[in-house]
Amino acid sequence: MTNKYQELDWLGADALMAQGGVIVIDVRAEGSYQEAHIPGSMNLDLQALQNFCKREDRADQAVLVYCYHGISSQSVAQHLIQNGFTQVYSLKGGFEEWKTHHLKSSALTQKIL
């Protein structure tokens, strides 16, 4: 068991999500999430995060956390590690970095961005 989360850049995050079975958590404000988010992600505030920690299987589930720029997600990722999750990743550069590269590489639908 690791005692630290791992950071992934947008390419690593895409590869992880392509494998399937990863829970993607957006810790930005709800309004920002409603405006645009990574497809399949869930928006969790502090209370919802605590409930998530209580109900999810910690050992077998990969969790990718992101915020605006990759700073706040690091503390959330570490919190998940401290609560027994073993496969935790923080998106380096956050949603803004992910969005920038996806806007460059493909035409995304309005629903996603």
Task: Provide the angle, in degrees to the nearest 10, between the axes of the packed helices 46-55 and 72-82.
Answer: 30
Tokens, residue 19? 């494998």
Cα three-residue angle 16-86-10, rounded to 5 degrees? 25
Question: Which one of the listed residues 8, 27, 65, 67 is annotated catalytic?
Answer: 67
Catalytic residue list contains 67:
yes
Active-site positions read: 67
